[in-house]
Structure 1
Amino acid sequence: MKTDLFNYDLPPELIAQHPPERRELARMMVLHRDTGTIEHRQISDIVDYLREPDVVVVNNTKVIPARIFGHKASGGKVELLLLEETDSKVWKVLMKASRRPKVGDTLTLCSGKASAEMLYDGEQGEAVLNIRSDRPLMEILDEEGVPPLPPYIARKEQTPEQIAEDKNRYQTVFAKTPGSAAAPTAGLHFTPELFQTLEKQGVSKAELTLHVGLGTFRPVSAEIITDHEMHHERYEVSETAAAKISNARKTGGRVVAVGSTSVRTLESLPNIGSAEGSTNIFIYPPYDFKHVDAILTNFHLPKSTLLMMMSAFAGRDLMLKAYKTAVAEKYRFFSYGDCMLIL
């Protein structure tokens, strides 16, 4: 299957550069797979589509302020995106520099609060660094790091006010476990009040963890989608979460996955149960979903693995019809944009 089959035209002005004033103001397209019907609602209306004993499955990973700055011994500037700590103080990163440092070179980071030795120089900007600091690195990142916004969100000026807003809004209200280099963006629309309303209706919430890493930043460049290689991302499903999901299924409820990361985690499991590991699952049509009955998702980039996943769930033709409708109706796209509930 060719990658071009998952392309669509998107006017640049529809790419959301800032979140809505309030989370609950996001628009929500409702796509019914059985009839092909499309409705236009708001995220707060999700309560009209869920019922007891459905379970909403969210990813409680926490985005770290993973974009940091520094310089080489020569004085040349470097910009890093911390992706994953693979060993104690050893980090996989994406690096931007006018001239790449060499293996063994030392970098000064975070206004001198940390330093790094180049251990490995990879392809497409990847590198591995040994990052050293006198204080815990997470403390320094809170002081010096900025939110790792995707490249389609332009920030000409990183003012303290703008950084503070992005730290708050590029994070779900249920984020708990630090480790992601990108937000599970479908979860950005929820508020504590919305969860309270769902709970009153008998809809439960199950939290799992998948740390979003390099795969989020890698577009599909292969002409044939099966030639694309997904990167591994770490996940954990607790006994409590597994019990809630299993109970919903046993009592006739639906498993409603919030975001592609929740889908990837659930579909990586042979059976619903507590689990820990890493996954590089690549979901594209045709695919028989084992555990997911409905999905809340944002609108994704053309030719992306995320669009392919949603096309596997709803059908490619229907998904592209929905995206064409979203463009015509001027929905806001990508991370800070609106969402789609696929039933």
Structure 2
Amino acid sequence: MEPALDDIWREVHLDGLKPVLPLFPTDALSEQSDESELLPDYAESDMNSAISALSGRHCVKLENLSISFGSVHKQPSWTMDPTALLDVLRQNPSLKTVTLRLPIPAVTVIEELGDLSRLERLEMRWWKDPGDTGTTGDGTTSMELFPSLRNIRSGKLSTFRRILSYMSTHLITWLKITVSSFSETQELFNMIQPCSALKSIHIMPIVPLAPTISDPLDLTLSFQPILKCKAMENFFIHTLNTVPPSDSDLTSLAVAWPKLSTFTWSSLSRYGPQATLEGLKTLSANCRSLRKLDIPIQVPPELPKQTPHAPFCDGVTVDIRQWRVDDAVDIDRFVGYLAPLAPRDGTPWLRLGNVKAGVWIAVGDRLRQCYD
């Protein structure tokens, strides 16, 4: 006897940007069913109807659910009735991954998600949060949900704050989040301070943050809480008006994050680079797992005399695409400054960007001189 269709589904995607609703069953069904016939086509006006059609099916083995509506740059102006979505969540207790990019009321759905004991990854975008009190969740609430949740992607700090209020923060290992202001960035650092298992964090701005004189993000003061996340392996932050890491900051990182593998501080800022070659050496010497380093680097006006330096850890890539140059003299001086740290086996270690085509000639010549 052939199993029922609903007993075989492992993964479902509903994407409101496409004219045909794509549903992806397991490979076993790929030759047996026409995906376009599983649920009706829909337009912007009938997203609720599409979800309602899905809620009529009891997919007991469904593990991955993704429902999206809108676009990356445009949030729907209306608020969706969550009734049909809640039915879908109740009917599928085996869900491990849930992606919801919908204008839905956050509180109602979060509590329903809490009944998914196997949920490991949750992505949230565009959630309506009119009742947000602004308080920070610290995992001490009496109603702890999400016993298996480890991976969170949130398009809004207030939604992430609500999730934290329903779970133990020490469970989180991976976080990707957008912030709308420098104060939110500082709040985020304080919020994740108790996340002792956090290994990866990726922070992006919701909108371009205009540089201001009165409201810069002070790295020395604001970054300290997150240094308590001792398991950190991958750190990425993109912002505009921040003071880049200094040698002192890199020394603190080297002590706090010995397992660090990737560190990126992308800052389009009026503040100049603060770190020097000495800071890079300290970080690479103490973080033996380091494989990629991407931060603004300060180059002295005069190229220092060549002196022997210990090379970076094997396989480390120094990414200087943030450093914009206009002529061969600048890039020649810059590469010459970093070259003593190049691995002696000639493995790739430097990435360049924002340079004119002719500059590559100077780069190649300079590197060949360093290896001769």
TM-score scaled by length of structure 1: 0.26
More RCO (CA 8 Å, sep 6+):
1
More strand by percentage: 1
